């Protein structure tokens, strides 16, 4: 949701433009959006609310770049070298990018620093796939095998990418690194809350030698710039990360246009603790799953299922841990939980807590805004108990630091209840019984299952959702396939064409 601002800005507010065709370009419209540091509510930048005209220009540029020899004719070693140059440039700007990310969404500098330090590896990994990509030959039966039939992969073309605010550059890299490795070009509409880091990122990629027009950033609201981008007639592939509601809409319009689409959407992931679990680890895993990043992660372990034998012990220890979490300045490396990213998100979380109370839940910890911190965006780590599977807070994605704790008695039961959700992004399993771990992992309907850990990702491990949590996979080899289409070539070696009236 974006509100245009029309007031004049104080002098220390940076005004950014779009990044198109290798340079900063003013919008064709006049409306702008404030970028706010959620820790104290200060406005520190504004970005254009891009128009459909801006999108047209960016897509046209990306098309020209896609058709150019400078991009299309790059040999594998050259493309890989470019991706390495990008990685090196990103490595040289880790602190700057991390600070930009934190100033946009209030996520901890210690997390954003680590994310930015790892960003280059995504490009290096896909550089390695550039060098090792191969086609295959098919020994067909037709005409006694008198064919040379081969399969090759070709880039789709111009990619339209729309991303959310919670891990802005990391989620961009999930798409951009494989898209560049595949040979696609790219137009990116970042979340309006976090558009500045994308613009700086574009500038850095250009400095690293990425040809003009290959990566373009148009800032603006989802309803205008985002909608114009994903529905543009000259886009060949759509890649979206965000909410299930918007993803469903984008998937429907891509379906109408028959444009391939990847969707990384929301979640309501179960984190299941069996009686044999190492409780200390499980508590850490629950905290990691729901309070890290102030709960604003798609893979949050927001449904905590604990076996009835250990339920009381777990809730007691969890409440203890939650009350000792250090809330505060996200720029302080000691802080454990920063603010929620913006006011609207805080209101959403607050209204879910009200609903939980109305539906009879107990708020065992938190549930309110602390009064000793600046700004308007802090919310306490919250533990909700006495809830049923049908309760609103248990069913819907909150995207905040709110854990619903549910108890269970046996394995079959908890698997059924864990799977009873429209979502299927991730799941956690805590048990020292490895037969049980594998049995449960096999039966959970989730794109990622962690056993005795939570919230780990790697550039080479595919990530994505079952059911309403998405379509397709990012990262790993699957992540590259998402930007490639398959061509089969049949070369007849027999020298004759026989019966023209049968399929041969």
Shortest Å distance, C-beta 345 to ligand NAP: 8
- 267 - beta bridge partners? none
Which alpha helices (DSSP H) does 44-108 contain, by range?
A: 52-67, 69-72, 76-91, 94-105
Judged by beta carbon, residue 307 or residue 455, the one nearer ligand NAP is 455
Among the listed residues 60, 298, 377, 474, the single catalytic one is 298
List Cβ neighbours of 359 (8 Å cut-off, separation of 6 or more). 387, 391, 392, 393
Burial status of residue 223 (CB atoms within 10 A of its CB: 0-12, 13-18, 19 or more): exposed
- Tell me how crowded residue 33 is: count the other CB atoms within 10 A of its CB: 21
Annotated active-site residue 264? The verdict is yes
Judged by beta carbon, residue 113 or residue 168, the one nearer ligand NAP is 168
Among the listed residues 264, 380, 397, 445, the single catalytic one is 264
Judged by beta carbon, residue 120 or residue 222, the one nearer ligand NAP is 222
Shortest Å distance, C-beta 171 to ligand NAP: 6
Shortest Å distance, C-beta 188 to ligand NAP: 10
Query: Would you call 188 helix, strand, or coil by DSSP?
Result: strand
Is residue 127 within 8 Å of residue 80, measured between CB atoms?
yes
Shortest Å distance, C-beta 504 to ligand NAP: 45
Annotated active-site residue 298? The verdict is yes
Burial status of residue 408 (CB atoms within 10 A of its CB: 0-12, 13-18, 19 or more): buried
Q: Which string of b and e fits 331-342 if b means at least 16 CB within 10 Å?
A: beeebbbbbbbb
Judged by beta carbon, residue 171 or residue 272, the one nearer ligand NAP is 171
From residue 371, give the alpha-carbon distance in Å to each of 278, 331, 376, 378: 35, 19, 9, 9
User: Under the rule (CB under 6 A), what is the footprint of ligand NAP?
Assistant: 2, 162-166, 171, 189, 191-192, 221-223, 226-227, 230, 241-243, 246, 249-250, 264-267, 298, 397, 399, 425, 465, 470
Pairing mode of beta strands 270-273, 303-307: parallel
Shortest Å distance, C-beta 91 to ligand NAP: 24
Minimal CB distance residue for ligand NAP: 222
End-to-end CA distance of the chain: 56
Judged by beta carbon, residue 126 or residue 274, the one nearer ligand NAP is 126
Shortest Å distance, C-beta 180 to ligand NAP: 19
Distance of CA 154 to the CA centre of its chain: 25
Judged by beta carbon, residue 205 or residue 341, the one nearer ligand NAP is 341
- Which residues are tagged catalytic? 264, 298
């Amino acid at each position: 949701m974006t509100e245009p601002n029309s007031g004049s800005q104080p002098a220390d507010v940076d005004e950014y433009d779009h990044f198109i065709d290798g340079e900063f370009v003013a919008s064709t419209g006049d409306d702008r959006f404030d970028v706010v540091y959620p820790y104290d509510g200060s406005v520190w930048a504004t970005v254009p609310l891009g128009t459909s005209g801006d999108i047209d220009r960016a897509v046209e540029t990306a098309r020209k770049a896609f058709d150019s020899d400078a991009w299309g004719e790059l040999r594998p070693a050259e493309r890989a070298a470019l991706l390495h140059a990008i990685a090196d440039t990103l490595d040289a700007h880790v602190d700057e990018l991390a600070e930009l990310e934190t100033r946009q969404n209030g996520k901890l500098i210690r997390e954003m620093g680590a994310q930015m330090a790892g960003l280059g590896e995504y490009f290096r990994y896909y550089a390695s796939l550039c060098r090792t990509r191969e086609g295959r030959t098919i020994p067909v039966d037709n005409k006694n095998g008198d064919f040379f039939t081969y399969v090759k992969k070709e880039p789709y073309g111009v990619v339209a990418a729309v991303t959310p605010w919670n891990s802005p550059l990391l989620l961009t890299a999930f798409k951009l690194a494989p898209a560049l490795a595949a040979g696609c070009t790219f137009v990116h509409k970042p979340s309006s809350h976090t558009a500045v880091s994308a613009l700086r990122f574009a500038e850095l990629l250009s400095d690293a030698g990425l040809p003009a027009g290959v990566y373009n950033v148009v800032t603006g609201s989802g309803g205008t710039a985002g909608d114009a981008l994903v529905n543009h007639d000259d886009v060949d592939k759509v890649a979206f990360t965000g909410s299930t509601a918007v993803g469903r809409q984008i998937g429907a319009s891509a379906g109408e246009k028959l444009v391939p689409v990847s969707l990384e959407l929301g979640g309501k992931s179960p984190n299941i603790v069996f009686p044999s679990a190492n409780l200390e680890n499980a508590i850490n895993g629950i905290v990691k799953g729901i309070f890290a990043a102030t709960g604003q992660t798609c893979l949050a372990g927001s449904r905590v299922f604990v076996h009835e034998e250990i339920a009381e012990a777990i809730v007691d220890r969890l409440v203890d841990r939650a009350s000792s979490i250090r809330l505060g300045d996200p720029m302080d490396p000691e802080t454990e939980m920063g603010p929620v990213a913006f006011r609207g998100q805080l209101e959403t979380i607050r209204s879910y807590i009200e609903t939980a109370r109305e539906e009879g839940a107990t708020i065992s910890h938190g549930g309110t805004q602390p009064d000793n911190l600046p700004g308007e965006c802090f919310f306490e780590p919250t533990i909700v108990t006495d809830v049923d599977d049908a309760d609103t807070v248990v069913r819907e994605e909150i995207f905040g630091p709110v854990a619903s704790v549910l108890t269970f008695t046996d394995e079959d039961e908890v698997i059924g209840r864990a799977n009873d959700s429209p979502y299927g992004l991730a799941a956690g399993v805590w048990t020292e019984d490895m037969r049980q771990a594998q049995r449960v992992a096999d039966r959970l309907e989730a794109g990622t299952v962690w056993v005795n850990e939570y919230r780990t990702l790697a550039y080479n491990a595919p990530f994505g959702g079952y059911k309403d949590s998405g379509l397709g996979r990012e990262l790993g080899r699957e992540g590259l396939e998402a930007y490639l289409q398959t061509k089969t070539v049949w070369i007849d070696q027999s020298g004759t064409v026989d019966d023209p009236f049968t399929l041969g």
